[in-house]
C-alpha cells in the first residue's frame, strides 16, 4: 500500500515551488493591539528567527502572507560579511 505524503511534506513542496525561503522558521503569533481595516497597510502577525551561520535574522510574516526581514539584523549580517571580505 502506498503511503500518502503528510500535509507538512505537501506544504514544504509547495513552498519550494513558490520560492518561499521561510521553511526553516518557526513563527510565533504577535499580539494585535488594534483591529486593522481591510484597506490598511500590511502588518506583522507573526515573528520568527532565521539562522544564517552565527546570525539570527528576525523574520516577520505579514497578514497578506508575505515574509519580511528586520533591516537591523540584515545590516549586521552584511557588515560582518563585508568586514570578513575586507580582511581576506
Domain ranges of the chain: 26-31+43-88
Using CA atoms, how far apart are residues 63 and 22, in angstroms rounded to an integer? 15
pLDDT band at 26 (very low <50, low <70, confident <90, very high): confident
53 torsion bin: left (phi>0), alpha (psi -120 to 50), beta (else)? left
pLDDT value of position 16 = 55
What does the chain come to in residues?
88
Confidence grade of residue 72 (pLDDT, cut at 50, 70, 90):
very high
What is the edge-to-edge ordering of all strands in the sheet holding 44-52?
A: 28-29, 44-52, 55-62, 67-69
Higher pLDDT, 85 or 57: 57
Average predicted confidence (pLDDT) for the chain: 79
Take residue 60 and report the three cell numbers written for it: 516577520
CA distance 44 to 65: 9
Amino acid at each position: 500500500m502506498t503511503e500518502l505524503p503528510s500535509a507538512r511534506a505537501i506544504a514544504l513542496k509547495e513552498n519550494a515551488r513558490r520560492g518561499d525561503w521561510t521553511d526553516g522558521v518557526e513563527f510565533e503569533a504577535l499580539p494585535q493591539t488594534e483591529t486593522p481595516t481591510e484597506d490598511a497597510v500590511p502588518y506583522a502577525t507573526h515573528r520568527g528567527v532565521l539562522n544564517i551561520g552565527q546570525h539570527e535574522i528576525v523574520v516577520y510574516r505579514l497578514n497578506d502572507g508575505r515574509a519580511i526581514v528586520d533591516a537591523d539584523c540584515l545590516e549586521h549580517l552584511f557588515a560582518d560579511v563585508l568586514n570578513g571580505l575586507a580582511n581576506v
